[in-house]
Amino acid sequence: MSGKILENGLLYGLEMPSSYTTLEDESVKTLKEVLADYPKASRLFDLLQTDPEVKTLFNLANFIAVRKLGYNDHGPIHAKIVAANGMRLVRLVLDSDGKVELDSISGLGMTEDDAHLIVLAGCMLHDTGNAVHRIEHEMFSVMYGKSILERLLPEIYPDISERTAIIQ
């Protein structure tokens, strides 16, 4: 990674935890804290963490990315780290006093809970396509993500119109 390491051990002003497990723990803590105010997004997080298909895709993604290609983690820990950062970004946008808007809220009339759920879903599922291959993994991630969300979201959004808007 390029960048300047500051005297106090910070990279770009971000302190890096001493271990990957610590980073996972801190990410889960952030997710739980942020999602405590958003029951729909919180429920999706719980569903994604326990879903057998999602777990299998994470394991396969790590097999392809880490074991076969020698890349870094692209599994469940990576997904949680990305999701925690996604939730931080949503919070920054919502705290911007309207300087930056989320289209899901300002354009489509969705709630903050809906917006958190949308970003959470994208962050958690963005690398599942690595289960197929690294090349064009983003396209496979979209296909897997759509299928997973179509299966999991009826519990959260019984109305097909709401659910369709969330998935799209």
**Which tens digit of pLDDT belongs to each residue from 17-55?**
677 778 889 999 999 999 999 999 999 999 999 999 999
Q: What is the DSSP letter of 63?
A: I
Q: Does 96 map to a domain? A: yes
CB atoms within 10 A of CB 147: 12
* 15 three-class SS: coil
What pLDDT sits at residue 135? 62
Residue 9 has pLDDT above 60, yes or no: no
Say what the pTM is.
Answer: 0.84
Number of H helices and E strands in the chain, helices first, is 8, 0
Domain with 125, as residue range(s), is 29-167
User: Quick check: is 9 in a domain?
Assistant: no
The number of distinct structural domains making up the chain is 1
In a domain, 15, yes or no: no
Instruction: Say if 71 falls within a structural domain.
Output: yes
Is residue 141 within 8 Å of residue 74, measured between CB atoms? no
